[in-house]
């Protein structure tokens, strides 16, 4: 059976960190719209050129741009047994688009879809964002305030210099929270009514959350 996991939650709720761990341990393929968009921006593709302005302002990239990127990605061979979708859908419109895409891609297949909502108070998330650094090469995520890092400013896993995302400043993060509450949070109710939402208590250490996550997937 094809297993589709959709991860949702506010910015910096830990989705990316948990997805990377789960993907590494289980072979689930991680499909993350934020990373796909950043890659398109770095490669200066047409989609990347459009996305840049929105990403840097903390706004949602126009739906056609993201939907195209996601649709192409979800058609590829490596995700036909399942995937973890992180960062999509982010609005009701995108949720309906995803339904349509998957109806086409999954026609004739037996599929189990679970939406996991990372339930966490937003009080400390701003701190996580401004101290977050990521590895541009392997995608590892660090927090320079709360995580011990072997060599300052350098990725523990591949020794590449860590970077701060341009949208990880306090000013842009505020916008990203506003966008989340106005456009993405209504999806909790949408999937809850559909009966495939699991609320995951996303407080605690990375390992504690991971243990809880493994019991609900
Ligand atoms: P993330 O890495 O998930 O925090 O995403 C970074 C930024 O990429 C967001 O603030 C948006 O500007 C853009 N983005 C990511 N996913 C989507 C999406 N599903 N729809 C529109 N914009 C998105």
Show which residues are catalytic.
15, 90, 132, 165, 176
pLDDT in tens, 117-171: 999 999 889 999 999 999 989 988 999 998 889 999 999 999 999 999 999 999 9
The whole-angstrom separation of Cα 160 and Cα 141 is 12
Please say whether the beta carbons of 4 and 111 come within 8 A.
Answer: yes
87 lines ligand 1 (CB under 6 A): yes
Which residues, 6+ apart, have CB-to-CB distance to 37 below 8 Å?
A: 47, 48, 51, 55, 61, 66, 69
55 lines ligand 1 (CB under 6 A): yes
Q: What is the pLDDT of residue 42?
A: 93
Which residue from 14, 60, 73 has its CB within 8 A of the most atoms of ligand 1, so it is best to mutate? 60
């Amino acid at each position: 059976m094809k297993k589709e996991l959709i991860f949702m939650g506010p910015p910096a709720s830990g989705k990316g960190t948990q997805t990377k761990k789960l993907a590494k341990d289980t072979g689930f393929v991680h499909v993350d719209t934020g990373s796909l968009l950043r890659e398109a921006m770095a490669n200066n593709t047409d989609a990347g050129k459009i996305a840049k302005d929105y990403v840097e302002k903390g706004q949602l990239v126009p739906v056609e741009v993201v939907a195209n990127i996601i649709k192409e990605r979800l058609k590829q061979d490596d995700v036909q047994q399942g995937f973890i979708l992180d960062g999509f859908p982010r609005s009701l419109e995108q949720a309906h688009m995803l339904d349509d895409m998957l109806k086409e891609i999954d026609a004739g297949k037996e599929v189990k879809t679970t939406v996991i909502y990372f339930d966490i108070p937003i009080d400390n998330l701003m701190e996580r964002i401004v101290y977050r650094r990521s590895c541009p090469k392997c995608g590892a995520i660090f927090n320079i305030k709360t995580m011990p890092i072997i060599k300052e400013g350098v990725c523990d896993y591949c020794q590449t210099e860590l970077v701060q995302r341009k949208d990880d400043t306090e000013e842009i993060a505020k916008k990203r929270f506003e966008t989340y509450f106005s456009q993405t949070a209504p999806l909790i109710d949408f999937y809850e009514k559909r009966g495939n939402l699991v609320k995951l208590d996303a407080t605690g250490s990375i390992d504690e959350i991971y243990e809880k996550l493994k019991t609900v997937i």
